[in-house]
Structures are given as structure tokens and as C-alpha cells.
Structure 1
Amino acid sequence: MEVKPSESLKIDAFSMRIGDVQDVDLERLHALSLSVGWPHRAEDWQFLRESGQGFVALDEIGRALGSAMWFPHGANFATVGMVITSPRLQTQGAAQWLMKRIFDRIPGRDLRLNATRAARRLYLSLDFQPEKTVYQCQGIARVPTAGRPTEAHGGVRTLEAGDIAAAIALDAAGFGVRRTALIEKLFEHSAGYGLFDGNKLTAFALCRPFGRGHVIGPVVAGSDPDALAVVRPHVADHSGYFLRIDTHMDNGEFAAFLSHSGMPVFDTVLTMSKGKCLADFSDGGSARPKTYALASQTLG
């Protein structure tokens, strides 16, 4: 007989209760992420609440001491993120308690998340398997002056509402799962550039406000030159300001460009999966689009 996770958890001299992330005051959620040094603004939390679902661990007076969210894409897959426990609870089993509640809510789905070093042991104990390193690249953006970039095939222009369907299809080809609602939501909050071969969208990059400045992502393209063609305009737009991009690419022209653009590697996390792995990390050949940059570490 399967045992359901409990609605409360006893921690030392106090108890936590579970709440819905939609019902918790944004400032309390913001205070939670600040407590662990994460850069999310209240506005970033609101974007995530509008894009997914989640639980919050609350103490007796309603303070948020932990959180965990999931973002479904279709009937069989979801990404997991914003798994936070306050420093007071990090050795008390609260994160495992929250994760098991997610398992109970969306049983049978294939899951993916990006794990910090501190959380990897937890996720391994929950049967998540390592996939690939994510490089968090950030800093004050500048347009590189040295070197001649390899020419992309096609022309770059600003993305418009009429390009959403093509971006959804290209993202699905690169990521491995169709993320219709998320890409539509990102278009509402982002500026975007697309590379077009005639009327066909072959690469795109979105950029939106996040944390200390702006974040570029997702970026989907078939090659380094194509990815750079749609990322370079965002770097120019934000030259002199804080810019971030999260990528699995650790070498080649794309990775070198980020470093030369004032965005060296700041930190790393590890992409991990539970259940069936997506096809985006497999060797699909040069013709297959790749996800050059994540929408975010939370969203994948």
C-alpha cells in the first residue's frame, strides 16, 4: 500500500504546514529566495506562479520556509524548480518532504531539474540521474571587438507575435518536448530576435528582465554561428548592463563569445532527470536544432 505524504512536518520545536504557492504573499516568497542568496525578484516569482504550480512550507505564523514548483509540458513531462529551504531547515528533511509532495501530485511524469551542488545528493536519493552541466554565465555585457564572427545563413530581425507558432515548433525540436504555454508566456515578457532563411525561422533568442538585470533564453539554433546571430543583438542592446545566460555549451564559438562579451562562467548546476530522458542531449546530427540557452534554470 502506497503511503501518502503528510500535510505537516515536525521540525525541532515547531511544525510546518503545506500551502499553495498561488496563495502566499509575493513578499514572503521573495524573502525566502533572498534567504538563500537567489536573485529572483518578486516579479520573477509572479512570472513563475503564472507559468506553473507549487507548494510552500509555512510555519505557524505564515512565514515561507520552503518551496518547490513544477511546470508541466504536455501530459507526460514537467520541469521542477524553485526547490528552496531556508538555512534553518536545510538539514531537516524539508526539501525531500516537498519533493515527495510533487511526486504525489504528478505521478508517472518524466521530470527534469537543475541541481545545485548542495542539492545533488538529495536528488540522487530520489532517483534523479545526472545528464549535463549548466554554465551560469553573467556579468556586465559588452560587444566583443576582436575576431570576425562566422557568418550565419539568413537574415536577423525582431520577432513578432506572428512568429510564436514557428518559435514553439523550433523550441520543441531543440528541447524535445512541446512547450506551447511557456513560449507564449515568454513572448509576452521578452524581446526577441530570429534568424530567417526566407520565411523559415531557423534560430531565435528571447531576452527578458530577471534578477539583477536581464537574462537571455531560451536560445535555439542549429549551429554556433546561427546562435550567435540571434544572441549578439541582445548583447548590443544591453551593453554596459548586467546580463545573464544559462547554457550547456562549454566550448566552441558560442561559449567563447559569452566570455568575450563580459559574461564568464559564474557558477554551475547539473541537469538531472527522473524517468525517460529527453532527446535534446542525444547526438541528433548537425541538422537538428539545439537548445543553446535555457529559458532559466527553473524552467529548463
Structure 2
Amino acid sequence: MVFFPVRQIEIDPFSLTLMPMQQEHLGALHGLSVALGWPHRHADWAANLDSGTGIVAVDEAGRVHGSAMTFSYHRDLSAIGMVIAHPKLARTALFRTLATEALEQSTGAAFLNACQQDVSFYRDLGVRSAAPVFRYEGFLPCGFSLARNVRPFRPQDRPRLHQLDQSGYCADRSRLVATLLEQSETYVIETCGHVTGFAMRRRFGRGHVIGPVIAANETDALSLTTSLMAGLAGQFLRLDTRQTEGSFVGFLAALGFRARPDVTTMTTTNLTFSPEIYAISGHSTG
């Protein structure tokens, strides 16, 4: 668990207090993200606070001007996300202060998904580029059904899901996975009676997002993904992936989903990401 200390900073023309993010800050943060064109709902901010720790910059009148979050995955890895600053302070040191604070409070190695315009900024902080993340999104043109070897998650599958996620990320993300299980429709795929992959779908932004998807191969990843598309014909769907070629992304393109090199994953060390991760859980959590 990360604990952000309370302290004063001077960001011309404001005197701001950095303090731990609380539920009462989420309304203002949601309004700030809407103003910047982010798709996050208030519920999406709340979900992140359930699985991470945040810091906010508040002025003397109690107005929130920015935030940053850290998602600690045991003692060996942290994800940095939800770094946002009020547009009027975009040219001040606030964004840099928030990002630096989150990086300094992270445990072990850290990674983040940076918008393209922020990549050079994070490089200046000593974070290096690792891999692009492509956002596939659009209105699902057709319906799908549950694949033969895919079934809904059962409570007894929980230890295996944690094991698969830990293997994919080389880190213990149990707190995040627990939060996602509460919010998501979750399916698993079985091979010879053993769970070998899983995928989740939850409400997010304009519709639904699928992720994470962790599978042994593209065929299994497609079976999980199409199963989660069941009943969503005509609805808005999003999936974020580091996959750059193969039948998985070919299928998404065939649906007519637009692929955008939305963000770049950046790391503080030479992290590698498992090819078994076909969709990430989110830009902030990885």
C-alpha cells in the first residue's frame, strides 16, 4: 500500500496542498477528466480508487486541480495512472510534480501508459518506452455466442485466475483482480478440464471494455473475446492490446473497429510483457 504524505506546493498562481485521494474528490476529478475529453465515468474513477492509491492537488478553497495514482502489485511492480492536471495549469509544474510524486512512491519497478504527447515528458523523468498500446473500439456489428470450451467464472476458479494473471504480469495483482471480478462478467476457457485462460468485460466510458484477456494462444483468446461479445450487438465496445499482428488483431479489424496507437507503455526498468496478455485491464492498471 502506498501512502502519500500531505504537503504544500507552490504552483503559480496557486498554493496547493497535495493530499491522499478520497471518495469526496471523485466528483471533481470526474468533471476534470470530462473537460479533457477522457471517457471515464464517475464509476470508473471509483473503481480505480478501490484498487489503487491516489494523490490530489487541492487549493485553499478546496478545489481539485489534479491527481495521480499508484497501483502497487505486491513489492515488485507498480503501475502509474490517472495523472491529470487542470487545463489552466497545463503549462505549470503541476503535472510534473504529480507524476514525479507517484513514481517516487511506487514500489519496485514501475510502468505507465503515456499519451503520445506525454512520451517525451516521461522520458525526461527517466522512464523509457517499451511497447505501443492499440485501442480498438467501435459499435459491435453482429452478435456472437458462447464458445464451446468457454464457461462463466466460478468462485472456485479464483486461485487459478490469480495464478494466470500473476504469470502474465510477473507480479501479484490480487487486489486489482479482486476489484475487477466484482465489476466484470468473467469467463474462463478450459483445456482437458483445466482452466488455461480467462477474460473480463465491464462497463466503461461509452459502453463496455474487454480486458484483461490472458490466454495460451490466439485461438483461445478469440474464443474468450467472442464469448464476451455475446449479447452486445450494436453496442459500443473497446479493447486495448499490445498485440501488433496475428489473427487476434485481424479479427478486431475485420469487425470494423478502428485501431489507434493510443498510448505507449513506458517502464523504469527493462520490463517485458507476456505475449499471453491479449488485452490489458486498462490504461491506468496495465
| Pairwise same-fold verdict (TM > 0.5) | yes
Q: How does 1:174-185 map to 2 (within 5 A)?
A: 174-185=168-179
Q: How does 1:269-280 map to 2 (within 5 A)?
A: 269-277=263-271, 279-280=272-273
Change (3 A) 1:6 1:187: closer
Q: Separation in 2 of the partners of 1:244 and 1:124?
A: 28
Deviation at 1:205, TM superposition (A): 0.9
Q: How does 1:185-196 map to 2 (within 5 A)?
A: 185-196=179-190
Q: Separation in 1 of the partners of 2:162 and 2:6?
A: 38
Change (3 A) 1:141 1:272: same
Partner of 2:50: 50
Residues 1:208 and 2:202 are matched in the alignment = yes
The AA in structure 2 aligned to 1:29 is L
Q: Separation in 2 of the partners of 1:23 and 1:160?
A: 31
Mean Cα displacement is larger for which, 67-76 or 94-103? 94-103
Mean Cα displacement is larger for which, 232-241 or 205-214? 232-241
Mean Cα displacement is larger for which, 97-106 or 108-117? 97-106
Q: Separation in 2 of the partners of 1:58 and 1:43?
A: 21
Moved over 4 A (4+): none
Partner of 1:127: 126
Residues 1:254 and 2:230 are matched in the alignment = no
- Count of aligned positions: 280
Q: Separation in 2 of the partners of 1:219 and 1:9?
A: 41
Q: Separation in 2 of the partners of 1:183 and 1:139?
A: 26
The percentage of aligned residue pairs carrying the same residue is 34
Instruction: Give SS of 1:114's match.
Output: strand
Partner of 2:284: 298
Q: Separation in 2 of the partners of 1:34 and 1:120?
A: 22
Q: Separation in 2 of the partners of 1:265 and 1:178?
A: 30
Residues 1:20 and 2:13 are matched in the alignment = no
Instruction: Give SS of 2:244's match.
Output: coil
- What does the per-residue CA deviation read over 1:95-151, in whole Å, with 9 as the maximum and x for residues that have no partner? 111122224434x52101000012112210111111000001111013389xxxxxx
The AA in structure 1 aligned to 2:285 is L
Residues 1:9 and 2:9 are matched in the alignment = yes
Deviation at 1:276, TM superposition (A): 4.6
Deviation at 1:27, TM superposition (A): 1.2
Partner of 1:29: 29
- What does the per-residue CA deviation read over 1:250-290, in whole Å, with 9 as the maximum and x for residues that have no partner? 2110001112224221452000001351x425xxxxxxx61
Instruction: Give SS of 2:172's match.
Output: coil
Give the alignment partner of residue 162 of structure 1, picking from 156, 159, 162.
156
Q: Separation in 2 of the partners of 1:66 and 1:28?
A: 9
CA contact (8 A) 1:53 1:71 kept: yes
Q: Separation in 2 of the partners of 1:181 and 1:242?
A: 28
Residues 1:110 and 2:109 are matched in the alignment = yes
Q: Separation in 1 of the partners of 2:23 and 2:143?
A: 45
Q: How does 1:134-149 map to 2 (within 5 A)?
A: 134-143=133-142
The AA in structure 2 aligned to 1:130 is S
Deviation at 1:60, TM superposition (A): 2.6
- What does the per-residue CA deviation read over 1:212-258, in whole Å, with 9 as the maximum and x for residues that have no partner? 11110000012111100000012232111011000001211000111
Q: Separation in 2 of the partners of 1:136 and 1:252?
A: 16
Instruction: Give SS of 1:265's match.
Output: strand
Instruction: Give SS of 2:278's match.
Output: strand
- Unaligned runs of 5+ residues in structure 2 are none
The AA in structure 2 aligned to 1:109 is G
Partner of 1:244: 238
CA contact (8 A) 1:59 1:65 kept: yes
Instruction: Give SS of 1:186's match.
Output: helix
CA contact (8 A) 1:144 1:261 kept: no
